[in-house]
Amino acid sequence: MYLLLLAACRGPDVLPDDSDTSDTSDTSDTSDTSDTSDTSDTVDGDPDFPFGSTIHTFGLDMDDAALASLAADPGTDVHATFTYESESYDVGVHLKGNFSFQDMSGKPSFKIDFHQWNPDQRFHDIERLALNNMVQDASMSSEHTAYWLYDQLGLATPRHGYAEIYVNGELYGLHGIVECVDEHFINHHFDDDSGNLYEGGYGADVMANRAMNFEIAEQGEPADKVDLQALIDATDAATSETYYSVLSANFDVDHLLDLWAAELVSSNADAYTTLANNFYLYHEPATSKWTMIPTGPDQAFLDRVLPDSTTEVIDVHEAYDGELAVQCAASTECKAALDEHINHVLSVWESADLPGWVATETANIESACRTDPRSPWGDYGCRDAQAAMRDWTVARPAVVQGQM
């Protein structure tokens, strides 16, 4: 069982001023909230509801006190009523985001906690959801596509989808639905869910003196990061000649290199390989292996978002920033293995027809994207970015092959 500490999808996010937004909300509310939650895990036979290609419609209703609280302290949960069709739930909601953060006057991202006030409440077997504003991606398809690619590779990756959000009856635009990486996620993807889940990024990396920067998202045993420190000690002690064997001894190495290869091939400028950001580490006690779990890939395919951008196209041989990836690139054996995984990603890109999937998915959301009343990009910004996205996914494999 888990001791919930700073749960990845329950605690507040870092806000633009890097202020301390620790969650001090009173969770002892005992108001009478009728539980109308549907605890089944299927809708019309779909076990992945509400994820996938359907654009759902979600409502959030909040009173003036809740809105005032979010304005003063956006990272602390307030009461809201979440609705889907005829279903209604009393939920905890707070705003999220770092560089993408917007308050209620713009297009906010939300984290929804269905069991914040009622521990037994679920939304179709879901405890928490992130609703992302996608304001850094004019096509509104980067995160959805990146997660789809990871899934095609068989990686442990959050489920994802779309919803139009109405707040107190007003349309707040198209949002990306993303499954939270939490104990529910770990239980779904791993045989042994009793280990530690750590959230990394922006200063937290697998290297000396960085363990303190990881946050414990879900905690098993032990409680003092001794397992994480052991991993850091092992990789720090490795030489370029032993690095690949050390990595293989400590990680599900095929999963790890497939993930890194996918980040590089998809030109994700805000990933572990390229910025040491947006990742979790899970230590599975039964296997003594670590797994890296991706999150927040909305900057994938970045160099195509604005055709006149000066952003450099990511070179799969040079774009390393995360310490493990840097050390891998310095190891002849590890770099050769990573190159094999890059070729594997290119093969899956073709066999799964990623360009065809992107064409279908962008067409599916085009109307909602172009008419989004709170998007900073507008009608033509969406149209042009989606066209560029389709062209980019067709052209990218040849670019990567040229770099190889």
pLDDT band at 97 (very low <50, low <70, confident <90, very high): confident
Listed in sequence order, the DSSP H helices in 202-301 are: 226-237, 243-250, 253-265, 272-275
Distance from chain centroid for Cα 322 = 17
Per residue in 228-259, pLDDT (tens digit) is 999 999 999 999 999 999 999 999 999 999 99
Distance CA 247, CA 242 (A): 9
pLDDT band at 222 (very low <50, low <70, confident <90, very high): low
Query: Domain residues of the chain, as ranges?
Result: 194-350
Kind of pairing between the strands at 197-200 and 215-218: antiparallel
Task: State residue 223's pLDDT score.
Answer: 66
**Higher local confidence (pLDDT), 156 or 16:** 156
Local structure of 182: helix, strand or coil: coil
Task: State residue 104's pLDDT score.
Answer: 97
Distance CA 186, CA 248 (A): 21
Beta bridge partners of 374: none
**Higher local confidence (pLDDT), 236 or 3:** 236
Exposed/middle/buried for residue 85 (C-beta within 10 Å: 0-12, 13-18, 19+): exposed
pLDDT band at 303 (very low <50, low <70, confident <90, very high): low
* Encoded amino acid at 300, one letter: A
Task: State residue 361's pLDDT score.
Answer: 96
| Residues 116, 203, 154, 114, Cα dihedral to 10° | 10
Residues 6+ apart with CB under 8 A from 347: none
Q: Tell whether the model's pLDDT for residue 92 goes beyond 90.
A: yes
Kind of pairing between the strands at 170-179 and 78-84: unpaired
**In degrees rounded to 5, what are phi and psi of residue 284?**
-90, 110
Q: How many helices and strands, by DSSP H and E, does the chain display?
A: 11, 11
Per residue in 353-373, pLDDT (tens digit) is 999 999 999 999 999 999 999
Q: Tell whether the model's pLDDT for residue 34 goes beyond 50.
A: no
Cβ(378)–Cβ(350) below 8 Å: no
Task: State residue 9's pLDDT score.
Answer: 59
Residues 6+ apart with CB under 8 A from 272: 200, 259, 260, 263, 278, 279, 292, 294, 322, 324, 325
Q: Where are the beta strands (DSSP E) in 225-381?
A: 279-284, 289-294
Local structure of 171: helix, strand or coil: strand
* Encoded amino acid at 82, one letter: F
Per residue in 160-206, pLDDT (tens digit) is 999 999 999 999 999 999 999 998 899 999 999 999 999 998 889 99
pLDDT band at 219 (very low <50, low <70, confident <90, very high): confident
Beta bridge partners of 81: 61, 90
Distance CA 351, CA 52 (A): 20
**In degrees rounded to 5, what are phi and psi of residue 199?**
-100, 125
Cβ(194)–Cβ(209) below 8 Å: no
In order of 202, 324, 339, the CA distances from 328 in angstroms are: 20, 6, 11
pLDDT band at 18 (very low <50, low <70, confident <90, very high): very low
Cβ(46)–Cβ(52) below 8 Å: yes
Average pLDDT, the chain: 86
Give the DSSP per-residue string, 64-105: HHHHHHHHH-TTS-EEEEEEETTEEEEEEEEEE-STT---TT
**Higher local confidence (pLDDT), 225 or 312:** 225
Distance CA 393, CA 80 (A): 39
Distance CA 387, CA 135 (A): 17
Query: What pTM was computed for the model?
Result: 0.86
* Encoded amino acid at 174, one letter: L
pLDDT band at 16 (very low <50, low <70, confident <90, very high): very low
In order of 128, 348, 380, 395, the CA distances from 355 in angstroms are: 31, 11, 21, 9
Average pLDDT, stretch 372-393? 94
Task: State residue 319's pLDDT score.
Answer: 79
Task: State residue 151's pLDDT score.
Answer: 96
Average pLDDT, stretch 139-146? 95
